[in-house]
Amino acid sequence: MAWNRVAVVGAGLIRFGELFSQSYEQMAAGAFQAALGSVDHGIDPTLIDAVFLATQRGTLWGQEGIGGNTIPSALGLNGVACTRIENACPSGSDAFRIGAMAVASGVHDLVLVIGVEKMRDKSTEEGLLARAAGGHPIYNRGETAPVLFAPFATRHMHEFGTTREMLAAVAVKNHHNGSLDPYAHFQDEVTVEQVLATPLVCDPLRLLDCCPQTDGAAAVLLVPADRAHDYTDRPVYVAGFGVATDHPALHEKSSFVGLPATVKAAERAYAMAGVGPADIDVAEVHDCFTIAEILDIEDLGFVEKGMGGPATLAGETSLTGRLPVNPSGGLLSKGHPIGATGLAQLTELWWQLRGDAGPRQVELHSNFALQHNVGGRGTGVSVVNILTTNNGR
């Protein structure tokens, strides 16, 4: 594949949470400054020649449309080329992929990819839960976000004997990781018993099986690999990426124990990077619900289909396990401000690959890290990005 190598030279985010005191624009500016400040040798923001903005749902805070001009002026970059990317829950990771392509093509030299999402300016009932009345008036009626994943939990439990305790183990692990992440929305440990004692949100999923509604913003800076050393001595490179789709309605799923979009996106990313699941040292995956992480680690090839629950229970995905998953705390603990989520995951992996993750630092072997999102109607779109510090790939 003839594409110019791309490097990540800066990445940053703001502390996630219910950021009632910050506007959408203020959150964006915070993430932008964090990314600029992370560049080891400093950076001149006026050299940014393209911005890709990921925001999934402006209606959650009262904006019908968020155009490409929404953010540049708030960042002091008025006039810069800017395009908004919306691709459901992978919006941030897809914006990263598109930003990387803009650099890989040779068209742009310094690209800012920024994800910003206001999830909590409206009440829950008027915000995220209102989707119960959206979509098809019959076939989507009552389809709140957990309905997109809970049927997979029901079926996964039925086919593989996955238990509620195994689901809870995902939450326990990710909340532990989040307790070590100063940017996480939740920074408290939880126990299996606590998870199982929380109210049912969408049977079989309980409150702590679900990620919170979180405001947040994250940003990364991309340059051609051959210029990376102008900015840092420790660049991280884009090794590969993939995006894939699946039918948009849940009843069109061929199975309820895996997500074909994830499988296909991963195949494409692995092929582009020339690696396989065994080469991945650390992964940030889409754990919007506990069952989602179990599906993800199976679909990404980290464990056999059906073994996601036992592997989690056995600690294989913990910080010190065979393949640490969601060291940042994941969506469950760090939060899921949709457009920012993928970029925050990539920021975590940027830290991890550079050895900067502090108490969350995992052991590196092959120096490849994988980032994954899946979502949309019928969990029908997935993006996988693979980063590495290995030059030459």
Partner 1 sequence: MDVTLRAVGAAAPSLRVEAHDIASAWGARGRGSVAVCAADEDPLTLAWSAATDALAADGGDAPTGLWWGTTRPPFAEGPSWSYLAAALGVGPEGALFSGSPHAGVEALLAAWDAVAAGTVHTALVVASDALVPDLGSSFERRAGAGAVAVVIGTGHGPARLTTRTTRSRPALDRYRGDLESATRDTYDPRAIRQLVFLPEVLAAAADVAAPADATWSLPDPDGRLAATVAEHVGGTDGSAEVRAALGETGAAAALLGAIPGLRRPGTVVAVAHGGGRTTAVTIVVDGHVPGADDAIAALASGRSASYAEALRSRGQLVAGGESVAMGIPPGSAMFARATAELLAFEGARCVDCGVINTPPSVHPACTGCGGAKLEVIRLARGGEVHTFVVNETMPAPFVAPLPIVVVDLDDSARVMTQAVGDGSGVDIGTRVRMVLRRYAIERGAPVYGMKALPLVAGG
**By three-state DSSP, how is residue 17 classified?**
strand
Q: Binding of partner 1 at residue 212 (CB under 8 A)?
A: no
Contacts of 2 (CB under 8 A, 6+ apart): none
Please give the Cα distance from 38 to 31 (Å, whole number): 11
Binder of partner 1 out of 21, 79, 251, 320 (CB under 8 A): 251
In the complex, what is the shortest distance from the CB of residue 129 to partner 1, in angstroms, rounded to a whole number? 5
**182, 201, 162, 143: which is closest to 376 by C-alpha?**
143
Say how far residue 316 (Cα) sits from the centre of its chain. 21
Measured from the CB atom, the residue of 3 and 139 that comes closer to partner 1 is 139
Q: Binding of partner 1 at residue 200 (CB under 8 A)?
A: yes
Token pair recorded at residue 41: 């040798």
Measured from the CB atom, the residue of 36 and 261 that comes closer to partner 1 is 261
Measured from the CB atom, the residue of 150 and 332 that comes closer to partner 1 is 150
In the complex, what is the shortest distance from the CB of residue 160 to partner 1, in angstroms, rounded to a whole number? 13
Please give the Cα distance from 301 to 266 (Å, whole number): 9
Site for partner 1 in 147-166 (CB under 8 A): 147, 150-152, 154-155, 158
Site for partner 1 in 87-126 (CB under 8 A): 124-126
In the complex, what is the shortest distance from the CB of residue 95 to partner 1, in angstroms, rounded to a whole number? 25
Q: Binding of partner 1 at residue 368 (CB under 8 A)?
A: no
Q: Binding of partner 1 at residue 198 (CB under 8 A)?
A: no
Please give the Cα distance from 243 to 264 (Å, whole number): 8
Total residues binding partner 1 (CB under 8 A): 39
Token pair recorded at residue 10: 């800066």
Q: What are phi and psi of 135, to 5 degrees?
A: 70, -155
Site for partner 1 in 337-366 (CB under 8 A): none
Measured from the CB atom, the residue of 46 and 123 that comes closer to partner 1 is 123
Q: Binding of partner 1 at residue 193 (CB under 8 A)?
A: no
Residue located via tokens 């296909």: 264
Binder of partner 1 out of 188, 226, 252, 363 (CB under 8 A): 252
CA dihedral 196, 310, 159, 382 (to 10 degrees): 90
CA dihedral 354, 356, 362, 365 (to 10 degrees): 20
Measured from the CB atom, the residue of 157 and 374 that comes closer to partner 1 is 157
Q: Binding of partner 1 at residue 204 (CB under 8 A)?
A: yes
In the complex, what is the shortest distance from the CB of residue 135 to partner 1, in angstroms, rounded to a whole number? 6
Strand partners, 54: 85, 115
CB 94 within 8 A of CB 371: no
Token pair recorded at residue 237: 């490179």
Q: Binding of partner 1 at residue 247 (CB under 8 A)?
A: yes
In the complex, what is the shortest distance from the CB of residue 73 to partner 1, in angstroms, rounded to a whole number? 31
CB 87 within 8 A of CB 337: no
Say how far residue 236 (Cα) sits from the centre of its chain. 18
Q: Catalytic residues, which ones?
A: 89, 336
Measured from the CB atom, the residue of 74 and 130 that comes closer to partner 1 is 130
Site for partner 1 in 292-331 (CB under 8 A): none
H or E stretch covering 153:
helix 150-160
Binder of partner 1 out of 81, 192, 256, 267 (CB under 8 A): 256
In the complex, what is the shortest distance from the CB of residue 139 to partner 1, in angstroms, rounded to a whole number? 6
Site for partner 1 in 126-145 (CB under 8 A): 126, 129-130, 132-139, 141-144
In the complex, what is the shortest distance from the CB of residue 92 to partner 1, in angstroms, rounded to a whole number? 24
**Cis peptide bond upstream of 310, omega within 30:** no
CB 287 within 8 A of CB 332: yes
What residues line the site for partner 1 (CB under 8 A)? 124-126, 129-130, 132-139, 141-144, 146-147, 150-152, 154-155, 158, 199-205, 247, 249-253, 256
